[in-house]
Amino acid sequence: MNMAIEIVPCLLLLLVFAPWSIYSDERLLVGMTIVQNAAARGAVCLDGSLPAYHLHRGFGAGSNNWILQFEGGGWCNDVPSCLERAKSRRGSSRYMEKYKVFSGILSNNGSLNPDFYNWNRVKLRYCDGASFSGEGKFDNGASVLYFRGQKIWEAIIDDLLPKGLSSARNALLSGCSAGGLATFLHCDNLAKMLPSDATVKCLSDAGFFLDEQDISLNYTMRSFYNDLIALQGVERNLNPNCTKSIENPKLCFFPQYALNYITTPYFILNSAYDVYQFRHGLVPPSADLRGRWYRCKLNPAACNANQIDVLQGLRRDMLSALDSFHTNSGEGAMFINSCFAHCQSESQDTWFAVDSPRIHDKTIAEAVGDWYFGRKISKEIDCPYPCDKTCHNLISSPRPRGLLFGKNNTVIAIEMHLQVSLR
């Protein structure tokens, strides 16, 4: 449940005085802007509704700096799941909350977000189901679905350019989960649209989805993405330098293959035991029909020694997929911690707080700020689980935060960034 929705009605009166943002419990709620002229260029959500974003203006020394953050929220890779999504906030601006909480990297409070608080901060709403990269349409006479993620991205940028983005001095393209993946697909593209003397950098949070075999040795994520790419017409929008150098061009949807061809400086933030990848990529329900992983998926402390070994394999594979970036990227930074987490830049408690996760005593906010401003570029890799005592493990018993439970107490979805492929 999104608290922002509940708070809004009580505060409507305040809107008279501050139409685009309201404060409550130290939470900043920012109003939605609909991109009115987007339909003319075919930039629409799955159901044909107009795309949207939330903009909170920067001030002072940050007036000409911009953070653009892709909203996350899984993908839809077949017609039934996209039709379902088209009836939700993930596929239609008709169902979106009209206000979003800006916290963590989007906070406007200098003590909560020391380097970016006074920047222009934008959340790009996600309503295409393909990480802002599809280009096509489904129409069987009975139902219509618009796959227009690429156009939505372009329409939002074109709407923001005259609002000050065209004179940006500094820009950071970020996003988490499906939004983190979207940064890899659009990072270089943003750099081309901004002034040539602007500093443009990109941050992926929990977007480094691995091309990993699951525990039954199937490439579950690869097949999922293959279907997604085919359905939504994504292939033509993948990095051409990647697609022409690889036998299976669809693989360029995976950051590990595209990264070598991205020239804009990157910060890769990810947990080596990313909860989404653990649950959907490494141990998808199809590979654990007997539920042997059920308790371990909910709580790492309940995993047996073999399961921990398998999880250490996930970490090893992630580090090896990042090895070339680690060695060769001069301007790139990373923060690969060992927490059972998914998305750590958007909530205050993991971004920057007295007890937030750290590597070498540095918080994520400090590592990202030090990298962006060139104070210190570091590539941090945490020691393996369970050594890190600063984690806020998403998983804990009995009822982990961020999880949705079915009647029989099985996890049916993970809230916010994780809704996907629940068929």
Ligand X SMILES: *[C@@H]1O[C@H](CO)[C@@H](O)[C@H](O)[C@H]1NC(C)=O
**Is residue 342 flagged as an active site residue?**
yes
The mark string for 268-287 relative to ligand X (x by CB under 6 A, - otherwise) is: ------------------xx
CB of 412 to ligand X, least distance (A): 5
Q: Which amino acid is at 186?
A: H
- The C-alpha atoms of residue 400 and residue 413 are separated, in whole angstroms, by 12
CB of 211 to ligand X, least distance (A): 15
If you ran DSSP here, which 8-state letter would residue 96 be given? Answer: S
Query: For 263-361, where are the E strands, in sequence order?
Result: 266-271, 333-337, 358-359
**Is residue 274 flagged as an active site residue?**
yes
Q: Of 267 and 352, which has the nearer Cβ to ligand X?
A: 352
**Coil, strand or helix at 190:** helix
Catalytic-labelled residue, pool 47, 205, 274, 317: 274
Report how far apart, in Å, the C-alpha atoms of 350 and of each of 51, 137, 182, 242, 370 are: 29, 39, 21, 33, 17
Q: Of 360 and 423, which has the nearer Cβ to ligand X?
A: 423
Q: Does 26 bind ligand X (CB under 6 A)?
A: yes
The mark string for 229-268 relative to ligand X (x by CB under 6 A, - otherwise) is: ----------xxx-------------------x-------
Residue nearest to ligand X (CB): 406
The mark string for 326-365 relative to ligand X (x by CB under 6 A, - otherwise) is: ----------------------------------------
Catalytic-labelled residue, pool 56, 280, 342, 417: 342
Cis peptide before 386 (omega within 30 of 0): yes
CB of 215 to ligand X, least distance (A): 9
Q: Of 182 and 272, which has the nearer Cβ to ligand X?
A: 182
Q: Are 422 and 412 in contact (CB under 8 A)?
A: yes
Q: Closest by alpha carbon to 391, among 412, 363, 414, 421?
A: 363
Catalytic-labelled residue, pool 177, 338, 345, 356: 177
From the CA atom positions of the chain, what is the Rg in Å?
A: 20
- Interface with ligand X in residues 162-221 (CB under 6 A): 188, 216, 218
Q: Of 109 and 378, which has the nearer Cβ to ligand X?
A: 109
Q: Closest by alpha carbon to 413, among 400, 423, 403?
A: 403
Widest distance between CA atoms in the chain: 59
Q: Closest by alpha carbon to 91, among 29, 138, 55, 56?
A: 138
Q: Are 202 and 267 in contact (CB under 8 A)?
A: yes
Size of the site for ligand X (CB under 6 A): 18
CB of 258 to ligand X, least distance (A): 10
* Summary count for the chain: helices (H), strands (E): 13, 17
- What element of type H or E holds 87? none
CB of 259 to ligand X, least distance (A): 12
Q: Does 60 bind ligand X (CB under 6 A)?
A: no
Q: Does 410 bind ligand X (CB under 6 A)?
A: yes
Stretch that binds ligand X, among 47-55, 139-147, 247-255, 406-414 (CB under 6 A): 406-414
**Is residue 204 flagged as an active site residue?**
no
Tokens of 2: 């999104």
Q: Are 383 and 389 in contact (CB under 8 A)?
A: no
- Interface with ligand X in residues 90-129 (CB under 6 A): 109, 111-112
Residues that bind ligand X (CB under 6 A): 26, 109, 111-112, 188, 216, 218, 239-241, 261, 286-287, 406-408, 410, 412
Residues catalogued as catalytic: 177, 274, 342
